Amino acid sequence: MSTTSIKLERLFALRGASEAAPGAETNPGARAGPGPFAGWRRQALETTAFLAVIAVGAHRLAGDADLAGLPHPYWLPVLLASCQYGVSGGMIAAVVASGVYVLGLSPQSAAQDFYAYARNVAVQPAMWLATALVLGGLRSLHLHQYAELSEQFALCRRRAADIGDGLEQAVAEINALERRIAEDAGSVAAMSRSLAQIDLSDRRAAAASFGELFRAGTGTATFVLYLRVGGGYAPVCAVERDAPCPTAAMATLSEADMESMIAEGARRGVVAGEGDAFGPRRRIVVAPPSGVGGERLAAIVCDLQESQDLRQFGRRAEDLASALATLLAACPNATPGNRP
């Protein structure tokens, strides 16, 4: 495995650990509490309940008189609502507090100046409204910025997940390519050794030595190579499960039998799936004639494995069959003493 694959796998391990870390949340905005646009009914209800509790407590502690040296207790709901909900919550709290404050004031006496009384009535509500606007505006700005950052963070997490998935697929493809390159390198080495061992003294020797090259080139573990000798086809090379087999006990096929097998193989290439004696994974590879009007010199009967790719086998077998035909055409015929 390459160094790039190892680094990418470490990256995925770190990414998986960060995603599986305790306390990690998919939506960080869920920790922000109520949003800036929480329902005004809820805010008004909370403010009213809070004001009621404050009014009851202040009445029991100090009666109708204000606590000397302390701000008005209605500042609490205004400040809390402004810091929690923003402008909307702060304004609702200021309006409700102002209403309760005005209702709780004693009526103007005959000796009291009108402007002094109006000042007492308006000062506190005006300060509450101004505070709600300032603090609530800052809080609303913070909530808006937090919402934008949360959306950007969620988008970045989704993009990171997509990139991680893409990198995982890339690592899988890299590993597959590395295995394929290793297999191809092994196949090339085996084919090079097989090419060096081909015997061109005559056609029979060339066909017998070509079997190892065909096995290495196509990856076929079981096959029989037949050489055209006279009016029939004699087995000159047999391999079963990657092990060479003797051909002395194998029968020579007549030309009619070979033509029938070739025709059956061609038919099964179009109509597959019939469970006859020919076998669903058997293929006939024919060495084409070397020239115009020439005769077919060899044929290879192959039993393919379930894991073999038929298209890849077909391409490689066709190329090797053409090479076999060229080799046989260049070799001299076997002498009568060497014929089977």
pLDDT tens-place string over residues 255-288? 788 888 888 766 655 333 333 334 557 788 888 8
Please tell me whether residue 340 adopts helix, strand or coil conformation: coil
pLDDT digits 0-9 by tens, 201-252: 888 888 888 888 888 888 888 899 998 887 788 898 888 888 888 888 888 8
> pLDDT at residue 138 above 80?
yes
Contact 50, 77 (CB under 8 A): yes
Cα 44 to Cα 244: distance, rounded to the nearest angstrom: 93
Q: Which residue has the higher pLDDT, 51 or 174?
A: 174
Q: Tell me how far apart the alpha carbons of residues 329 and 38 are, in angstroms, rounded to a whole number.
A: 90
Confidence (pLDDT) at 160: 94
Q: How far is CA 294 from CA 288, 290, 329, in A?
A: 9, 6, 10
How confident is the model at residue 266, as a pLDDT? 66
User: Regarding predicted confidence, which is higher, 152 or 293?
Assistant: 152
DSSP state of 195: H
Q: Where in the chain is the domain with CATH 3.30.450.40?
A: 199-334
| Winning range, highest mean pLDDT, from 89-93, 121-125, 140-144, 176-180 | 140-144
Neighbours of 155 (CB within 10 A): 10
What pLDDT shows up at residue 291? Answer: 59
Quote the DSSP letter at residue 275.
-
Q: Which residues contact 334 (CB under 8 A, 6 or more apart)?
A: 202, 203, 204, 229
| pLDDT(36) > 50 | no
| Fold of domain 199-334 | Beta-Lactamase (3.30.450)
The predicted pLDDT at position 97 comes to 86
241-to-212, 284, 286, 316 alpha-carbon distances in Å? 13, 17, 21, 19
- Rounded to two decimals, the pTM is 0.43
